[in-house]
Amino acid sequence: WEKAVEGDFFRVQYSESNHLHVDLWPFYPRNGVMTKDTWLDHRQDVEFPEHFLQPLVPLSFAGFVAQAPNNYRRFLELKFGPGVIENPEYPNPSLLRLAGSG
């Protein structure tokens, strides 16, 4: 766990060799919408309806059972675009190209 320097969130680092990580953002409800104070220029960095979190549902993930949005397919497609489950892509392809070149 580390406090991110580029915004108000925490990063859980899984691997030092390839920097595999998960960013945890503190969203809060405002008028039925989940929002936050720090925004980055990422496609998935959007507000979303609070109803996705009420109730949360159990979902198997990486060998554990985690609490997830109640309609996780619609939630992921809202954040990442249609077909994201069947055809996942790196969230910021331009960074992946930069890392692979040179």
**Tell me: the pLDDT tens digits for 66-85?**
999 999 999 999 988 899 88
Residues of the chain with pLDDT under 70: 90-102
Question: CA 50 from chain center: how many Å?
Answer: 15
Residue 83 tokens read as 């077909």
Q: Look at residue 89 in the predicted model and tell me its pLDDT.
A: 76
DSSP state of 82: T
Mean model confidence pLDDT for the chain: 83
User: How many other β-carbons are positioned within 10 Å of the β-carbon of residue 67?
Assistant: 12
Going from N- to C-terminal start, the domains of the chain cover 2-80
DSSP state of 79: H
Q: Look at residue 102 in the predicted model and tell me its pLDDT.
A: 47
User: How many other β-carbons are positioned within 10 Å of the β-carbon of residue 80?
Assistant: 17
